[in-house]
Amino acid sequence: MSKLSIVVPVYYNEDTLMDLYQDMKDKILGTIGDYELVFVDDGSGDDSWKIMNEIKGLDPHVRLVKLSRNFGEHAALLAGLSVCSGDCAVTKQADLQEDSTLILEMYESWKKGNKVVLAVRRSRDESRVKVFFANLYYAMVRKFVNKNMPVGGCDCYLIDRKVIEVLERLDEKNSSLTLQVLWTGFQTDMVYFDRKDREKGKSRWTFAKKFKLVMDSMMSFSYVPIRFMTGIGVVFDIFALALMISVLVEYFTKGVPIMGWASLMCVILLSAGLILSMLGILGEYLWRTLDASRSRPPFIIDEERKPECQEGEGE
C-alpha cells in the first residue's frame, strides 16, 4: 500500500495547529490509509512546538522537525520533504485557508500516474488589494519565468518520491520551491479549490517576504532582468545619438547655440539612477552566486521526533 506524507510548515501557528489537525482527522486521515504527518517548526517564537508535541501524543503517525532558527517557508518545506518517508508528499498550509479534503483529490490524481498535482486557486475570499497583487505576481511569472504557472497560482502541491529526490539534489537557496517543482517537468495535473480568508492567527507573510519571493522567482529562473538592462542601454544609446545629431544639425544649419544646463542635469541624474539600478540587479545575481558557492545548508535541523513506529530505529 502506498504511503502519503503531509508536510506542514509551522511559523507562529499556535492558534490554528490543533484545529488543523482536528480538521484533517475528521475529514481525511481515516480514509487515506497509510499516512504520515510532518510538522516543521520554522523557528516559531510562540507555543507552536508545544502544541505540535501535543498533537504527536494524539497520533502515532506524526513526525516533528524543529529548525534551529527561522529559515523561511522554502527551507521548512525542504526540511520536511527531506525527512518524510511517503511514496508521495503533499504540502499543507497551517492557516486553515484551504479545505483538507483537497488532499484527497490530489492523492487520487497521483494514483492515476501524475507525478505532480497542483492545488490551484479558483477564487480567493480575500481583500481586492491582496487578490490584485497576487494575480499580478502570477501573471509576471507566466510571462517572464514559466508559462506553466496556473492563472490562479497554487498554495500547495503533491509530488511523487521521484520529484522529492530531484528537489533534494537541486539544493537551491534564494529560490521558489513551487517554480522548482514546475521546472522538473514531470507529468502534472491540477485540482481547483476556493481559498478562504484567514479567520485565526496573524499572517506573517510580510511585504519584505513577498518582495523577496518576486526577486527570487525572477533571478533564479529567468534571464529577463539581464535582457532588460541590455534593452534599456540600447534604447538610451539610440536616444543619445539621435539627440546629439539633432543638436549638431541645428548648430551648423541654424546657428542655434548649444545650451541647456537644466536639461543636461536631468539626463545625467536619470542616467545615474538607471546605472545604479542596473548595478543593483547585477548585485542580486552576484549575491546569489556567492551564497551558493559557500555551500551553506538551506536549513539546520535542531531536533527531530519520529513517528512512534520508528522511534527505536537506528538506535
State pLDDT tens for residues 71-118: 988 899 999 999 999 999 999 998 888 889 999 999 999 999 999 999
The per-residue pLDDT for 38 is: 97
Name the residue with higher pLDDT: 180 or 152: 180
For 51, other C-beta atoms within 10 Å of its C-beta total 22
Most trustworthy range by pLDDT among 5-9, 26-30, 124-128? 5-9
With a pLDDT cut of 90, the percent of the chain lying above it is 41
Phi/psi at 13 (nearest 5 deg)?
A: -120, 30
Name the strands in the sheet holding 3-10, side by side, starting at the edge strand that comes first in the sequence. Answer: 188-195, 116-124, 154-160, 88-91, 3-10, 34-41, 62-67, 301-305
DSSP one-letter code for 164: H
Each residue of 186-200: pLDDT tens digit? 999 999 988 877 766
pTM of the model: 0.79
| Lowest-pLDDT range of 85-99, 144-158, 245-259 | 245-259
Residue 7 contacts by C-beta under 8 Å, 6 or more apart in sequence?
38, 40, 77, 80, 81, 84, 89, 90, 91, 92
Sign of the Cα pseudo-torsion (305, 311, 313, 315, in order)? positive
Nearest C-alpha neighbor of 105 from the set 119, 115, 88, 89: 119
- Band (173; pLDDT cuts 50, 70, 90): confident
φ, ψ for residue 76, nearest 5 deg: -65, -40
Q: What percent of the chain has pLDDT over 70?
A: 93
Measured distance CA(49)–CA(42) in Å, rounded:
10
Residue 6 pLDDT: 96
Band of pLDDT at residue 314, cut at 50, 70 and 90: very low
Residue 258 amino acid letter:
I
User: Ranked by mean pLDDT, which of 158-162, 227-231, 273-277, 284-288 comes out on top?
Assistant: 158-162
Distance (Å, whole) CA 105 – CA 122: 15
DSSP 3-37: EEEEEEEESS-TTTHHHHHHHHIIIIIHHH-EEEE
Please report the pLDDT score of residue 80 as a whole number.
95
Q: What is the 3-state secondary structure (H, E, C) of 66-135?
A: EECCCCCHHHHHHHHHHHCCCCEEEECCCCCCCCCHHHHHHHHHHHCCCCEEEEEEEEECCCHHHHHHHH
Q: How many CA atoms lie within 13 A of 272 on its CB side?
A: 6
Instruction: Tell me the C-alpha distance between 279 and 223, whole Å.
Output: 15
pLDDT score of 91: 95
Question: Which pLDDT value is given to residue 315?
Answer: 39
The residue ranges of every structural domain in the chain are 3-221+297-310, 224-293
Residue with cell 483529490: 105
Q: Considering only the top CATH level, what class is 3-221+297-310?
A: alpha beta
